[in-house]
């Protein structure tokens, strides 16, 4: 009888041990799926989920904070992804957070990566719709990589040619690098430049005096400008025959009149001379 009861105790220990292991396993697996924590839900709409599956992890700053609960096709170009996230990380996800689909490794599972959004904004609410960014498909990367590689091939070909030319001393850079005389010339130029700049420094030290001269020159130039513009106006008026001198210069009638006046004046003065000579010889005035 006693043996029977010890056997029963042993059986009890055996069974409870098995159950404890099972419960622990269920707890740890459930813990990963946030079964025993308070959670909140978000949804996002993608065009293409790139192989994301139900149960995949959701990451914020590289930390697993939730799992993908369901994925469903809404229409032929829209896929709705529902995710469950640990309540404690809600305060870090802002209203303008963006969800993208990334990958755990080169051959690993897909993950939903949440970019937390701008600091000052309000936290996201339960059942909110999160903004999404289209994941970069490996195929697209491959296509653009192909063009890049093609371009790189061309560029490296050109570079090879250039370096050969440089090596053989062709072209400016080639000569610069490989030609001995050029190098000496450049060295001499640099020495000259150095001397020149030393002198320039001295000149610059005297620049204080030059300043006042420059100001004087500037005002002179100002006056000259005014004078030349006045002169311009005058010549314009002269040309259009305005004013006395203008009319004298440009008006032909006036000139003719002036001419005849001058002739008359000449004749007048000759007659006056004669008259005066006669008057001198006249008796009336000889006393």
Partner 1 sequence: MEKIILHKSQSENKVTEVVIEESVEVVKDSMFKKFFLEVSSLTTFTLRFFKEAIKPPYEFNELMKQSFLIGYKSLPLIAITGFIIGLVLTIQSRPTLAKFGSESLLPAMVAVSLIREIGPVITALIFAGKVGSGIGAELASMNVTEQIDAMQVSDNNPFKYLVVTRVLAATLMLPILVILADGFGLLGSFVGVNIKGDVSAYLFFSQIFQSLEFNDLIPAIIKTFFFGYAIGLIGSYKGYNSNKGTEGVGEAANSAVVLSSLMVFIIDMIAVQITSLLQG
Give the nearest distance from C-beta 53 to partner 1 in angstroms: 11
Give the nearest distance from C-beta 7 to partner 1 in angstroms: 5
Give the nearest distance from C-beta 134 to partner 1 in angstroms: 26
Q: Which stretch binds partner 1 (CB under 8 A): 12-20, 121-129, 194-202, 204-212?
A: 12-20
Residue (109 or 134) nearer to partner 1, CB: 109
Give the nearest distance from C-beta 113 to partner 1 in angstroms: 17
DSSP character at residue 121: S
Which member of 1, 2, 8, 45 binds partner 1 (CB under 8 A)?
A: 8
Residue (19 or 225) nearer to partner 1, CB: 19
Count the residues of the shown chain that bind partner 1, applying the rule CB under 8 A.
22
Which member of 36, 62, 107, 206 binds partner 1 (CB under 8 A)?
A: 107
Residue window 22-61: x/- pattern of binding to partner 1, with contact defined by CB under 8 A: x--xx-xxxxxx---------------------x------
**H-run or E-run covering 132:** strand 131-132
Q: Which stretch binds partner 1 (CB under 8 A): 2-10, 176-184, 205-213, 235-243?
A: 2-10
4 binds partner 1, rule: CB under 8 A: yes
> Strand, coil or helix: what is 271?
helix
Q: Extract the tokens encoding 176.
A: 């610069």
Residue (28 or 283) nearer to partner 1, CB: 28
Q: Which stretch binds partner 1 (CB under 8 A): 18-26, 148-156, 174-182, 263-271?
A: 18-26
Give the nearest distance from C-beta 110 to partner 1 in angstroms: 15
Task: State the burial class of residue 185 (Cβ atoms within 10 Å of its Cβ: 0-12, 13-18, 19+).
Answer: exposed
> Strand, coil or helix: what is 77?
coil
Task: State the burial class of residue 42 (Cβ atoms within 10 Å of its Cβ: 0-12, 13-18, 19+).
Answer: buried
Give the nearest distance from C-beta 89 to partner 1 in angstroms: 18
Other Cβ atoms less than 10 A from the Cβ of 67: the count is 19
Alpha-helical (H) ranges within the chain are 2-32, 138-167, 171-178, 180-205, 207-239, 243-250, 252-281
> Strand, coil or helix: what is 87?
helix
Residue (24 or 272) nearer to partner 1, CB: 24
List 58's β-bridge partners, or say none: 66, 112
**H-run or E-run covering 125:** none
Give the nearest distance from C-beta 82 to partner 1 in angstroms: 17
| Residue 220 to residue 215: CA distance in whole angstroms | 9
251, 238 in Cβ contact below 8 A? no
Q: At what angle do helices 243-250 and 207-239 cross, to 10 degrees?
A: 60
Residues that bind partner 1 (CB under 8 A): 4, 7-8, 10-11, 14-15, 17-19, 21-22, 25-26, 28-33, 55, 107
């Amino acid at each position: 009888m006693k043996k029977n009861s010890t056997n029963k105790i042993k059986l009890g220990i055996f069974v409870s041990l098995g159950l404890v292991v099972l419960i622990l396993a269920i707890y740890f697996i459930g813990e990963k799926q946030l079964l025993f924590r308070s959670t909140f839900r978000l949804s996002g709409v993608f065009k293409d989920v790139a192989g994301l599956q139900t149960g995949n992890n959701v990451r914020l700053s590289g930390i697993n904070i939730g799992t993908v609960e369901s994925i469903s096709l809404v229409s032929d170009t829209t896929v709705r992804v529902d995710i469950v996230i640990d309540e404690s990380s809600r305060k870090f996800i802002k209203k303008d957070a963006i969800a993208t689909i990334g990958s755990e490794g080169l051959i690993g599972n897909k993950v939903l990566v949440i970019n937390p959004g701008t600091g000052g904004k309000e936290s996201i609410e339960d059942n909110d719709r999160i903004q999404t960014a289209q994941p970069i498909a490996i195929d697209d990367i491959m296509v653009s990589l192909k063009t890049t590689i093609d371009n790189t091939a061309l560029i490296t070909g050109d570079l090879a040619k250039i370096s050969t030319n440089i090596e053989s001393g062709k072209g400016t850079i080639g000569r610069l690098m490989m030609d001995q005389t050029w190098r000496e010339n450049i060295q001499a130029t640099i020495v000259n430049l150095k001397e020149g700049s030393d002198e320039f420094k001295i000149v610059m030290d005297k620049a204080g005096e030059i300043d006042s001269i420059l100001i004087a020159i500037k005002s002179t130039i100002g006056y000259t400008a005014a004078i030349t513009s006045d002169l311009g106006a005058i010549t314009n008026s002269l040309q259009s025959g305005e004013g006395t001198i203008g009319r004298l210069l440009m008006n032909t009638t006036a000139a003719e009149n002036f001419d005849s006046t001058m002739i008359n004046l000449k004749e007048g003065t000759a007659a006056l001379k004669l008259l005066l000579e006669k008057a001198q010889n006249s008796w009336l005035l000889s006393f």
